[in-house]
Amino acid sequence: MKRSYLLYGVVAGVLLVVLQAVQYKTMIRDMRLELYAGVIAILFMIIGVVVGLQFVKRKSTNAVDSTKANQLNLSERELEVLHLLADGYSNQEIADKLFVSLNTIKTHISKLYQKLNVSRRTQAVQKARDLAILIPPKG
């Protein structure tokens, strides 16, 4: 989560810098301010849409009851992984989403299984629901 925000910030900054550079180099005479503003607006609107989609995706799926999670000593990262696991993502997809390697995800999931006392991902999801760690979106 924290990484996501950081990423978006970095992307935003880089884009601004790039726009500046481009502007000073070649377009300062040809490009009017309106057009410049328009380009920025469109770019960041696209970014905003992406951010918004990411945001809602997490909220619209499974919620996490962090209180009960703490009783099992599940770490934050493990909860994140569990969340994505329950959403049906593969290990590789989870790795991509969290910007870590596949091996790391495997480790997280392995520990998750130990703490939940299961040996398969479907069981993990099942158990997490039973323990109200994962709360379905609706009813």
Applying CB under 7 A, among 58, 68, 106, 129 the residue interacting with DNA is 106
Asked if 25 touches DNA (CB under 7 A), the answer is no
What minimum distance in Å lies between the beta carbon of 109 and DNA?
Answer: 5
* Distance between CA atoms of residues 101 and 122, nearest Å: 22
Asked if 103 touches DNA (CB under 7 A), the answer is yes
Asked if 113 touches DNA (CB under 7 A), the answer is yes
Interaction site with its own copies (CB under 8 A): 12, 15-16, 19-20, 23, 33-34, 36-38, 40-53, 55-57, 60, 64, 85-90, 118, 120-127, 129-130, 136-139
